[in-house]
Structure formats: C-alpha cells, structure tokens
Structure 1
Amino acid sequence: MPLSHALRSLALAGLVAVAAQASAQVTLTMSSWVPPTHTLTETQKAWCEMLAQKAAGKVRCNQLPRAVVAAPGTFDAVRNGLVDLSFTVHGYTPGRFVTTQLAEFPFLGDSAEANSVAFQRIYQKTPAMQEEHKGVKVIAVFTHGPGIVFNTKRPITKVEDLSGLKFRVGGGMVNEISKALGMNVTLKPAPESYELLSTGVMDGTLFPAESIEGFKLDKVVKYATRFPGGLYNTSFVFMMNENTYNNLPADVKKIVDEMSGEFAARMIGRGWDKVDTRGMAFMQAAGVQFTMADAAFVNAVKQRTAGLEDAWAKAAEAKGMKDPKKALADFRAEIKKLQ
C-alpha cells in the first residue's frame, strides 16, 4: 500500500475512534432553580465535574442556563426525564414527603454538614423514606444550616413578637412550627423572597444565614433572630433520573454509587457551612441587626411546638415508617457525634 494511502487509512481510523468515543460519552443535563452563584448550583456542578473526571471522560456535564421547571416541579422533572440531575426541597410539595420531616425540627444542630450526614445515615436504614423517593436515583438527602427568622420591621426578642408579621416559609415542618408559634405564614419557594419582601407583600422570611446574600436580600432585611441549633431546618434531596442511572456503563454506575450517600451529603453540607459563615459576615457588613434568642424565648418555642413530634410520628407511621420516634432520637444522637 502506498504511504499516502496508509497515512490516510490511519487518519480515518483515528477519526472513527474519536467519533466512537464521542458517541459513547454520556451528557448529564443539570437543572437548578437557585441562582448560578448559589452553593447548591455550584456544588451540584462540582459533584458532576468530579464524576466526569473520575469516569475518565465517559461522562460530561451540562448545566442548563435556567431551571427546566419551577422549584416545586423539580422532583417530577427528574423522575420523568426532563433533566438528569437536580435537587429539591421536600416541603415544596405538601403531603408528598412526610418521613423526611424528621430532619426539620427545632434545635437540631449548628452544622449543615453534621445534620446532612446524620440525615443520610437515617435515610439509608429507613425503607419508608426510600419508598417516598421511588422513581429517582437518590444521590443524597441533606439539610441547610440552622434556620433564622429574618424580617424588615422590628427586632424579635420573644415569641409574642412573631405575631402580626407576615412570613414566607418553604413548607414542610417549618410550616407547622410557624403556625404553632402564632406566625402568619405563606408557603412560597425561596427564589420569590426578594419580590415578596421588597414589595411589602411579606414582612419576613425564614432562611439559613447564606440566603440573604444568595437571594440578594441585604437591602430589604433589617433584623435577624438566631436560635441555638436553629429554629427549624429544611430537608432536600439531590437526585438523578433513574433510567439515566440504569443506562450508565457499569464502571460509571460504580463511581456514581461511590459518590452518593454520605460522600455527597458531606460535600453539600460542608459547602453550606462555608457559605453560612460567609453569609454572617455579609449581613454584619450590611448592617443587619442580630438577636440571639435567650433561654426564655427558646423555652417558649419548645412549649408551643411540643406536640409536633407526636403528630409527625403518627403521620410517618401511616406512611409505613417503623418507630419514627426512635429514628428521630437516633438522628439527634448521630448529629451530636458528628458535631
């Protein structure tokens, strides 16, 4: 064979090999309903890029420029294959997720990483929790940092100060906590907070520390009340479309599994702790006035919310969860070990 023909054949073979490699590469589409700079968007992207690196190019990630659906529709968007990877707040779809409210009670802990890893450990040994997520591949369940009460009107130093103000909440157990405290609350997704507060439709919102910077609320929020361990928490799920996961090459699925569970929960929680710390400094620079709830305030909250654990346990049992109160006690014990 002439040299020119041989070189041409080699070049053609190389192109075929490259084309075959490209066609074999899986593209994972990712959707986020929070801003591009939010810790959830950034951590989701970092997780997927780490997967791509570990999978030696068999997978690539495509962060979509905007959310494929509004936040409450995210679980179904992933389950139905509209997007491959995303996350959602369990409480955004009232009544759908009950067992996960275990992670949303008052005074659980001051670290998103500890809470998230503990939550993931309980999830892994609780079939009823897994059943509520049927239809998706759960990468991890996790929580944000301790919940704070923010408002635009006045300092809140006692439980009675909460009445007469209108608050945005994200749903789930925080809704029940707020009602027990006599708060006037409306269920709305986090991205709507700026418009609600800036227009005066709402007087306040319940968020972790990072959210004032994350949702650009520093110009409207004036007052913040913190609680040891947080007034509440919010449970999330980070998930992949089940068919997408099942169709991955076996070695890539193994890597996904290795990067799921505690690995992902710790990664997301650690990222949230970092931005919570930054958020506190950001709010102090913005002039937000802080109040730390004293023992009398904490005790008043405990008294008013005392019945919520029994009500949740009953609802969780109805969803097939065995001994919910023991699971909650185990969850708290895991947080103490991890903090």
Structure 2
Amino acid sequence: MTFKFTRMVAVAALLTPVLPGLAQAEEVLRLNNWLPPGHTQMTGIIEPWMAAVEKATEGRVKIVKTDASLGAPPRQYDLAVDGIADVTVGVLGYTPGRFKMAGIAELPFVGESASGLSKGLWTVHEEFFKDADEYKGVQLLGLYANASGHVMTTEAAGAIDSIDDYQGKKFRVGGGIVQQVNPALGGVNVAVPANEVYEILSQGVADGTLLPLEAYPSFNLKGVISNTLTIPGGFYSSAWFVVMNKAKFDSLSPEDQEAIMSVSGAALAELAGTSQDEEEVKAKEQMAADGVVFNEADEAFQAAVRERLAGLEADWIEQAGSLGVDGEAALVRMREIVSGVEN
C-alpha cells in the first residue's frame, strides 16, 4: 500500500503543470541592498537590470535583493570579492584612491548628463582602462555616472551667486572628487551618509549639499532646500560600479555569462543614464513646484571655478599615466562621446 501511494504521488507530481510564477531559477544570486527604500538608483536602474538578467537567461539566473544590508556603503566592492554577496552596486569614490580611472567621469566640465557621462565612462573603460586591471576579484558588470552635481542651499544660508558667497559655507559631500572640489572653492566639507542629509540641513549643521537634482526626492529634501545653483558644462559627478563575485560568475554556464553581459556593460550604462536623466527632469519640476529658486553661475563665477579646479584634471592625467594609460587621449575621447550625446 505504501509503495502504491508513493508511486501515485510521484506520478501526480510529474503530471502537475508548473505555474510560470512559481518556476525555479537554476541560480539565485544575492544582491546586497544598502540603498534607502524607493531610491531611484535601485528602482530606476538596478531593479530593471535585474529583470533584464532574468529575461536574458530565460529564467535560469535570478537576482534577488537582500532584506537588509550586509555591509556599509564603502564595503560594497569587498562584499563581492569575499563572496559575502554575489552582486553589489556602489560608489567608487567611497574608497578614495582605490579606483583611479573611473574618476574621468567625475571631473569638472566633462559633461552634465548622466547619459553622456555613463556612455563615455563605459566606452573609455573598454578602450583605454581595461589593461589597468583595477577591478580584481570580481566580474565587472557595469560602470555608470550620475548627472552633474549642483550647489543646493538652505533658506538660512541664502543663494550662492558668486565665489565670494561660497567662502566658508558648509556643504554635505559624498565620496569621490567632490571632497576635493568643495574645499578648493572655499567650502567646508561635512561628511555624513546621504540618508542623513535632511537631518543636518534641518538642524543647521550644514548650509547646503552638493548633489544631482534626483537626490532631492530620493532623500526627501523638500522644506530644507531653497536655492540651487547650476554650473554649466558640469560641476562634478560620481561614478558607480556593478560587480559580481568572480568565482560565482565563473560557475555560470558560458551561455548565461554571455546573456548577463549582453544586458550589462554598455546596455547598463545606457539604462542608468536614461533613467537618471529622466529623474533629473522630474526632480527639477518638483523642486520648482516646491518653490526652490534656480540660478546659473555667471561667467565670472564659472571662470573662478575653472581656475580653482584646473589642477584636478592634471592630477587625474598623472594618475592615469602611472597605470600606463594615456590620460590626455582618454579625456579627449570622453569629451567627444559626451558631446555627441548632449549636443
């Protein structure tokens, strides 16, 4: 009787159709999620890319987010290297001096749009930077950049209309080149996590923040930002990475590796750029509706910014040379690509 019952159960299992929503992926990868709920980096870029991976692999590979972060933002790259997470996304500038070449996208006056900067960054990486071999212990899946940062200030701090207005102002800054940009212009760095921006602005700890416009809704800055200054040509940016643990990537079939890369790299850069630029437009509309006043730096202000930040480009070219990269040629190519997108 037991044998007959067991056999009936087995046959029933074979004959029972598998519902599409319940299909099991052959490989489930964990992506560490450290971003706050609803952040546009996750909803507009990473989640659509995760869906694209699943579709490209015909459901054989599925990426799922962790319920809680497995490590602080600066640890994201090493979480992937050590296999604590299979896939991670992070800001390259959170570990200063470790990843030098992606800094090309962060430089002032290289570009304004996320689309241009992201396309340019991935292209020059492929054409100029790959041999520098900076991304050890992982499979590099993507590089992209934010749209240009802006100077946002509180009502108490007032608008920044000149380089003199900038002097002594305290700005919250993130990782990367912005930590050099702000003091070079006469500002004081306030280094706190992005999710604490509202708190320090509302309490008067900082006079403003340097961020792309999409950060305004992402970090709920309504009520604390009153003025925004734009630097034509691009003030600075931040470069992001998406990586997978190398052993995990190597364990996948060649077919799935190829499928994943088909929606990563240049495709991911395009997705990231387009999504962020769309969010920039939405954010500007929201800010205007909230009464935020927008100004553009005049020629005198722009000249002062160029003069004070000129050394950053020279420093990057020197760093590139130390890795065997022709930095001047890479910058020419980068600007060519960005210009082709933005003009």
Query: TM-score, with normalisation over the residues of structure 1?
Result: 0.91
**Quick one: distance in 1 between partners of 2:190 and 2:338?**
30
User: 1:92, 1:189 within 8 Å by CA — same for their partners in 2?
Assistant: no
Q: Is residue 100–residue 129 contact of structure 1 (8 Å, CA) maintained in 2?
A: no
Query: Where does residue 315 of structure 1 map in the other structure?
Result: 319
| C-alpha contact (below 8 Å) 1:123/1:130 kept by paired residues | no
Aligned to 2:289: 285
User: What does the per-residue CA deviation read over 1:43-75, in whole Å, with 9 as the maximum and x for residues that have no partner?
Assistant: 211111121122222122322233221211111
Preserved CA contact (<8 Å) 1:162 1:182: yes
1:250 to partner: Cα distance: 2.2
**CA gap 1:36/1:129 in 2 versus in 1, 3 angstroms:** farther
Whether the 8 Å CA contact 1:104–1:233 is kept in 2: the answer is yes
Shift of 1:276: 0.6
In the superposition, relative to structure 1, how do residues 131 and 191 fare at CA in structure 2: closer, same or farther (>3 Å)? Answer: farther
Find the residue that maps to 1:126 and give its secondary structure: helix
Secondary structure of the equivalent of 1:206? strand
Q: Distance in 2 between matches of 1:67 and 1:227?
A: 35
The answer on 1:124 being equivalent to 2:93 is no
Alignment match of 1:115 (pick from 114, 117, 135): 117
Residue 71 of structure 2, aligned match among 69, 72, 79 = 69
CA distance in 1, matches of 2:254, 2:23: 18
CA apart distance, 1:5: 9.2
Q: Distance in 2 between matches of 1:9 and 1:289?
A: 69
Query: Which sits farther off after the overlay, 149-158 or 305-314?
Result: 305-314
| Deviation beyond 4 Å, 4+ runs, structure 1 | 3-9, 12-15, 21-24
Out of 47, 50, 58, which is 2:60 matched to?
58
Q: Cα distance, 1:129 vs. partner?
A: 7.2
Select the residue among 207, 216, 236 that pairs with 1:212: 216
- Counterparts of 2:76 and 2:206 in 1: how far apart (Å)? 25
Question: Which one of 321, 332, 339 corresponds to residue 329 of structure 1?
Answer: 332
Q: Please give the alpha-carbon distance, in whole angstroms, between the structure 1 residues aligned to 2:216 and 2:129.
A: 36
Q: Is this contact kept in 1: 2:172–2:191, CA < 8 A?
A: yes
Opposite residue 121 of structure 2, the aligned amino acid is: F
CA distance in 2, matches of 1:119, 1:194: 30
Aligned residues: 334
CA positional deviation for 1:281: 0.7
1:78 aligns with 2:94: no
Q: Between 115-124 and 86-95, report the one with greater CA deviation.
A: 86-95
Deviates more, 1:120-129 or 1:241-250: 120-129
CA distance in 2, matches of 1:186, 1:97: 23
Q: 1:14 to 1:134 in 2, by over 3 A?
A: farther
**Counterparts of 2:48 and 2:132, CA distance in 1:** 25
- Distance in 1 (alpha carbons) for counterparts of 2:13 and 2:336: 62
Residues 128 and 57 (structure 1 numbering): CA distance in 2 closer, same or farther, change over 3 Å? closer
Measured in 1, the distance between the counterparts of 2:118 and 2:97 equals 22
The Cα of 1:260 is off from its aligned counterpart by 1.6
The more displaced of 148-157 and 95-104 is 95-104
Deviation by residue 1:176-222 (Cα, 9 ceiling, x = unmatched)? 22222111113333223222222222221110010011011112111
Match of 2:198 among 194, 197, 211: 194
Amino acid at match of 1:324: G
- The amino acid across from 1:33 in the alignment is W
DSSP-derived class of the 2:294 partner: strand
Please give the residue correspondences for 1:134-145 in structure 2 after superposition, counting only pairs within 5 Å: 134-145=136-147
Structure 1: segments with no counterpart, 5+ residues: none
Of the three residues 138, 154, 179, the one matched with 1:175 is 179
CA distance in 1: counterparts of 2:217 and 2:6, whole angstroms:
63
User: Which amino acid in 1 is paired with 2:158?
Assistant: R
2:34 is matched with which residue?
Answer: 33
Contact 2:162 2:301 survives alignment (8 Å): yes
Q: Which amino acid aligns with 1:40?
A: Q
> Where do 5+ consecutive residues of structure 2 fail to align?
none
CA distance in 1 between counterparts of 2:116 and 2:148 reads: 11
- Compared CA separation, residues 12 and 336, structure 1 to 2 (3 A): same
Cα distance between partner residues in 2 of 1:128 and 1:8: 55
Query: 2:167–2:186: 8 Å Cα contact kept in structure 1?
Result: yes
Of 294, 298, 317 in structure 1, the residue corresponding to residue 302 of structure 2 is 298
Aligned-residue Cα RMSD (Å) equals: 2.4
Secondary structure class of the residue paired with 1:132: coil
Name the residue aligned to 2:269: 265
Could you tell me how far 1:24 is from its partner in structure 2?
A: 6.3
**What does residue 165 of structure 1 align with?**
169
